[in-house]
Chains A and B, each alone.
Chain A
């Protein structure tokens, strides 16, 4: 693929990881706070959570459409997208209640999304 062989792909990938640090990074802080860990209130980081999510969705789409067929043949990609849909649905519903259960579920789901995403590289053909 043209995009894969240029410097653009690694840069888009990097921005995706920067978005990850902002998005999952702030959610983890919020969840650990909910669970009673010595983590400060993170309400004013909401902006970073949403900016991170927007960045990830945009760069993720760019990477996907650079070689859609290749991603669709990758089993790790299927697992990642399935987990992502569940994690996003939980994030915008259950997670809002701020319960301990929602926090544990959120930590588990986002951890699995990251692991499945990283595995896309390993299952690439």
Chain B
């Protein structure tokens, strides 16, 4: 059966950028530092999820996290594809995406759900560094 995620991981594994990223001394540390810095700068906005004025601020943060996160994935795609923690993290991100579709009358539920889910994302993320 065709597995698009595995195909993507295999494709990225064979690119020269994967080699450059994984062999560079400061590449991954710098991208990882920006990734963590984005959590520090934009993490607080999750506490004000119902405030529409922060919508653009949240999207900037999410964009930086997704962009740096994708580069980090690119640096070791095959290991991450087989990491249980990485899979759990991706699953949680999908649930966060679905929770954001909850209708406005469930705003409080969406808010509480998103706090718990983001905490889970951070927990599984740290796990990825270990296995």
Which chain B residues lie closer than 8 Å to A114 at the CB level? 33, 36-37, 40
Which chain A residues lie closer than 8 Å to B57 at the CB level? 39
> Interface on chain B toward A: helix, strand, loop, or mixed SS?
helix
Q: Are B37 and A29 in contact (CB under 8 A)?
A: no
Which chain B residues lie closer than 8 Å to A40 at the CB level? 48, 51, 53-54
A34 at the interface (CB under 8 A from B): no
A21, A28, A118: the one within 8 Å of B122 (CB):
A21
Name, among A14, A45, A121, the residue most crowded by chain B CB atoms within 10 Å (CB to CB): A14
Q: Given the interface contacts A10-B127, A10-B129, does A48 sit within 8 Å of B33 by beta carbon?
A: no
> Interface on chain A toward B: helix, strand, loop, or mixed SS?
helix
Q: Are A17 and B44 in contact (CB under 8 A)?
A: no
Interchain pairs with CB closer than 8 A, number: 93
B119 at the interface (CB under 8 A from A): yes
- Rounded to whole Å, the gap between the CB of B129 and the closest CB of chain A is 7
B41 at the interface (CB under 8 A from A): yes
Q: Are A118 and B44 in contact (CB under 8 A)?
A: no
Which chain A residues lie closer than 8 Å to B56 at the CB level? 38
- Rounded to whole Å, the gap between the CB of B42 and the closest CB of chain A is 7
Q: Are B45 and A25 in contact (CB under 8 A)?
A: yes
What 1/0 flags go to A85-116 for Cβ under 8 Å of B? 00000000000000000000000001100110
Which chain B residues lie closer than 8 Å to A10 at the CB level? 126-127, 129-130
Q: Are A24 and B130 in contact (CB under 8 A)?
A: no
List chain B positions with a Cβ less than 8 A from chain A. 29, 32-33, 36-37, 39-48, 51, 53-54, 56-57, 118-119, 122-123, 125-127, 129-130
Could you name 7 residue pairs across A and B whose Cβ atoms are closer than 8 Å?
Answer: A10-B129, A17-B126, A20-B36, A22-B43, A25-B43, A25-B47, A28-B44
